[in-house]
Amino acid sequence: MKPSFPKIIAGAAAGLLAFAATAAETVKVGVLHSLSGTMAISETSLKDVLLFTFDEINKKGGVLGKMIEPVVVDPASNWPLFAEKAEQLLVKDKVSVVFGCWTSVSRKSCLPVFEKENGLLFYPVQYEGEELSKNIFYTAEAVNQQAIPPVDYMLSEGKKKFYLLGSDYVYPRTTNKILKKYLKSKGIPDSDIEEIYTPFGHTDYQTIVASIKKFSAGGSACIISTLNGDTNVPFFKEFANAGLTSENCPVVSFSISEDEFRGLPAKQLAGHLGCWTYFMSIKTPENQKFVGDFLSWVKAPKVTGVDYTVSGVDPKGRVTCSPMNLSRMGVYLWKQAVEKAGTFDVDKVRDALTGQKFKGPVCEVTMQANHHLVNDVFIGETLPTGQFKVIKTFKGVAGEPFSEKFLK
């Protein structure tokens, strides 16, 4: 017997109500990271740690009683595609917040979209500053938190010549422009500063390394590297092949963390330096728990509370690093602001973010009115294991995006 028309209507209505109820039980958040292309070497792990954090929060009841439902897109290391994917997340998928971007060119590509659509982006990677948007929260290291401290350290170690090597885009060029002014204020002449850029994905570093070897012949030189992505692999291999070491020409890298070292000849690079607001090797109970929980999660990844099974997560040789930690802390700062505001409304969440504190794995951070964090800063020496040994710590450094505030 055919069902009556009223029963069909009732069944359809019940289905719609069930769908609405399911939708009402989740809050969509965007993940905007390159999972392919030259930046996948760095950004894939940020996607992983975000999904881990969503799972961590969902297991404790979610945000305002809603399970976090991730919407993951792949802008594929294509800078204009970041803008398209950001618009998709905000307009089509209607996410409440987006966590993503690595390079500054990708952030700048989608910044107008976030401002036009009044979306929120949490940006977790060190950058050049000289920017402040009401729609972006910069959880990572500004120039005064990552570039200035190791330059001061190199000067204190007697280094008098600086080779500025970077990928050819806005972050390295702007950072080096600031560093050149800073070095000149410290008495370093133009003749002792070299500045070279290579495109993303560049592989032939023979000529550049030969130039570095000549530049460093006197023993008082160092390299400040803002190379990004997989181009670090051929550079460091050529560097080691040329007989250059941390003893005769130390490299300070601003874009190589523990995660990137998984693809580098770490044993040959022992002694080189990094400067971040987090190292996996720092011994605190909170960090040991974070590391242990993440390494356990990647063995069987999923997001609790939503129909979302994670695929493509490689559990082998995994580590944690500063951009991963800053990604995770950004999620918690957003969660706390949402709960303070009592709503996912962007304007109210933005207001609630100022002054938020979060006890991270290595220290407590505070979100400032300028959308940057007060955070501890660590200079680390690379070990043959690909980890870092902390050699200097700076407590409670306030992130300052505008160089005119810290250049004297």
User: Is residue 225 within 8 Å of 254, Cβ to Cβ?
Assistant: yes
Q: Please give the DSSP secondary-structure letter assigned to residue 186.
A: T
Segments of 60-215 assigned E as strands: 67-73, 98-100, 121-123, 136-138, 161-167, 193-198
Instruction: Tell me, rounded to whole angstroms, the distance of Cα 226 from its chain centroid.
Output: 14
Max Cα-Cα span within the chain: 95
For residue 273, list its beta bridge partners: 252, 381
Q: Is 2 exposed, middle or buried (0-12, 13-18, 19+ CB in 10 A)?
A: exposed
- How many Cα atoms occupy the beta-carbon half-sphere of 238 within 13 Å? 17
Q: What's the confidence (pLDDT) of residue 272?
A: 94
Closest CA to 320 of 362, 270, 366: 362
Residues 6+ apart with CB under 8 A from 328: 49, 50, 52, 53, 290, 360
Q: Roughly what angle, to the nearest 10 degrees, separates helices 104-117 and 170-185?
A: 110
DSSP character string of 149-168: HHHHHHHHTT--EEEEEEES
Q: What's the confidence (pLDDT) of residue 23?
A: 52
Q: What's the confidence (pLDDT) of residue 9?
A: 39
Task: Please give the Cα distance from 255 to 166 (Å, whole number).
Answer: 10
Rg of the chain on CA atoms, in Å: 23
Beta-carbon neighbour count of residue 314 at 10 Å? 10
Task: Please give the Cα distance from 355 to 333 (Å, whole number).
Answer: 10
Closest CA to 364 of 340, 406, 333, 389: 333
User: Is residue 99 within 8 Å of 50, Cβ to Cβ?
Assistant: yes
- Going along the chain from its start, the domains and CATH numbers come out as 7-141+282-376 (3.40.50.2300), 144-279+377-405 (3.40.50.2300)
Beta-carbon neighbour count of residue 132 at 10 Å? 12
Task: Please give the Cα distance from 119 to 350 (Å, whole number).
Answer: 10
Task: Please give the Cα distance from 89 to 32 (Å, whole number).
Answer: 9
Residues 6+ apart with CB under 8 A from 107: 82, 101, 121, 123, 127, 136
DSSP character string of 343-376: S--HHHHHHHHTT-EEE-SSSEEEE-TTSBEEEE
Q: What's the confidence (pLDDT) of residue 24?
A: 64
Task: Please give the Cα distance from 358 to 37 (Å, whole number).
Answer: 33
DSSP character string of 7-59: HHHHHHHHHHHHHHHHHHTEEEEEEE--SSSTTHHHHHHHHHHHHHHHHHHHT
DSSP character string of 244-255: --TTTS-EEESS
Strands 98-100 and 357-359: unpaired
Residues 6+ apart with CB under 8 A from 389: 281, 380, 381, 383
> Could you read off the pLDDT of 142-182 as tens digits, one per residue?
999 999 999 999 999 999 999 999 999 999 999 999 999 99
Segments of 227-287 assigned E as strands: 251-253, 273-276
User: Is residue 169 within 8 Å of 105, Cβ to Cβ?
Assistant: yes
Tell me the pLDDT of the chain (408 aa) as tens digits.
434 433 433 344 434 333 333 556 999 999 999 999 989 988 999 999 999 999 999 999 999 999 999 999 999 999 999 999 999 999 999 999 999 999 999 999 999 999 999 999 999 999 999 999 999 999 999 999 999 999 999 999 999 999 999 999 999 999 999 999 999 999 999 999 999 999 998 999 999 999 999 999 988 999 999 998 788 889 988 998 999 999 999 999 998 899 988 887 777 778 999 999 999 999 999 999 999 999 999 999 999 999 999 988 999 999 999 999 999 999 999 999 999 999 999 999 999 999 999 999 999 999 999 999 999 999 999 999 999 999 999 999 999 999 999 896
Strands 357-359 and 364-367: antiparallel
